[in-house]
Structures are given as C-alpha cells and as structure tokens.
Chain A
Amino acid sequence: MRSAPHSRPSPDLLETLYASKKAFHARRRRLPLRVKVREVIELQRLVLPLLARQRSLRPWERPWQTEP
C-alpha cells in the first residue's frame, strides 16, 4: 500500500536549516579550549558505556579523571 505523499520543506526552509547548522558548528569551533576539553570528557562519560555494550573496552578507554 502506498502512503499519501508527504509534505516537503521548501528550498528556502532547507537553506535556512543548513545555514543554521553551519552557524551552530562555527560557534562550537570558537568555544574556549577549556570548554572543548570539558566536552571531550563529558563525551567519554556518555559514549563509553554505550561502547561497552558492543565490545570489551581497552584498558585506557575510560573517562579521564581530570579537570579540563
């Protein structure tokens, strides 16, 4: 069975969304280094438990016990 045709975003809306995403990444690139390092450590805390569900973690794969 074919579903009803979906509404599609206009080219203008798509352009706005892509521009917004580009600006978001540009802002993240300009973050202070200390903030970026804090994010790396937070990512480790988020990602490593998920990674551990897929495979054994290597000895060094654990969140750094350090301040940024």
Chain B
Amino acid sequence: MTAAGPTPTFSATLRAINDLKNDGVIEEYAIAGAMALVFWTEPVATYDLDVLIFLPEENRPIVTLGPIYEWAARRGYASEAEHVLIESVPVQFLPSHDELADEAIETARTLDYEGVPVRVVRPEYLVALYLEPSARTRKRRERAAALAESGTLDHDILKELLTRFNLKL
C-alpha cells in the first residue's frame, strides 16, 4: 500500500498467495491457524495469517524461505521478522513439518472469498494440528475444543486422525 494508493483488501492478500503458487515459488498451500478458523466457525482475535506450504523439491538439505522473500521483495512486499506483509496483512509461511501437516495441505478445501479461490485446512485437521505436542498451548487447546463443539466437523474423520497420529483432545 502507498500513501496515495487505495486501501488494500483481504481478497488481494489471498490473490497474491495464489500467485505465489502459480509463479512456482511454492508447490501448494493451505490457510491454517486462527484465520482458517474464521472460515469454519466464529471470528477470533488474531494478528497474522498462517499459511502451510509445500516448497518445490530441491537438492538442498536445508529448507529455506529465501525464494518467498525474494518473490515478496519483487512485488514490493516488506518482510518483518518471519512475516511478509502482503497487502498489509502479516503472513507467516510455514513449511509442512510432518505427515499430519502434509495431509492437512493435501486435503484442504477450496473455498471462495469474495470471488477468490482459497485453500483452507479442513476443521478436523485444524483440531489435530492444535493438539500436536509442539503446538499445544492453552489457547490452542481451547480453540480445538471450541471447534470440536461447533458442529462444523466430521467426528469420524477427527477420531480417525487422533488415533492415527496418537493425539488426545
């Protein structure tokens, strides 16, 4: 956004994330975290947009987000700490860290936001991701419980996920 330019829109942020995939910088993505909750249940306070991603296969032992930051710089998006400010929204790109996250990306639903297609992690996977030991905080446990009670998820799928990944509500 420039001082003289129009106010950016959230749909422009989502469109830019789709561009990131179309430009081949990432292989696939899915919105996760609290903003994914907004798609499935009630709005909650959050300050950034978490995006789970698959990076293109490369012959490097260490995953680097360098290409994303370079893409962002070319588009005029600033980076702050681990966030890229895309149309004024701080976006954190999280490379898939395990098989559960892989499946969360692979099974994400394509939803519509103001005419922009957006891939969003399914609610059952959001609950499971919140319950992973590395992610487990009181706030996330509460969000998982709220989602589980929201009537928006398939309890058979959730049960199967919790069993297979050895997670507990």
Contacts and interface: CB of A to CB of B under 8 A. Distances in A.
Interface of A: 25-26, 28-29, 31, 33-34, 36-37, 39-40, 43-44, 47-48, 58-62, 64-68
8 tightest Cβ-Cβ pairs between the two chains A and B: A60-B90, A39-B43, A43-B45, A36-B43, A65-B88, A59-B80, A28-B42, A60-B83
Interface string B143-165: 00000001110000000000000
B97 to A, nearest CB: 21
Nearest to B90: A60
A33 B9 CA distance: 13
Given A60-B80, A66-B9, 8 more contacts: A28-B43, A33-B38, A43-B43, A43-B45, A44-B47, A60-B83, A68-B9, A68-B10
Interface string B105-146: 000000101100000000000000000000000000000000
Contact of B152 (A29, A44, A62): A29
B114 A34 contact: yes
B39 A65 contact: no
B37 to A, nearest CB: 9
Max chain A C-beta neighbours (<10 A), residue from B13, B43, B88: B43
A61 B114 contact: no
B89 A33 contact: no
Nearest to B46: A40
Q: Is the interface of A mostly helix, strand, loop or mixed?
A: helix
Contact of B43 (A37, A48, A61, A65): A37
Contacts of B111: 33
A23 B42 CA distance: 12
B81 interface: yes
Nearest to A61: B47
Contacts of A25: 42, 150
A44 B10 CA distance: 15
A33 B88 contact: no
Given A28-B43, A48-B47, A59-B80, A67 B9 contact: yes
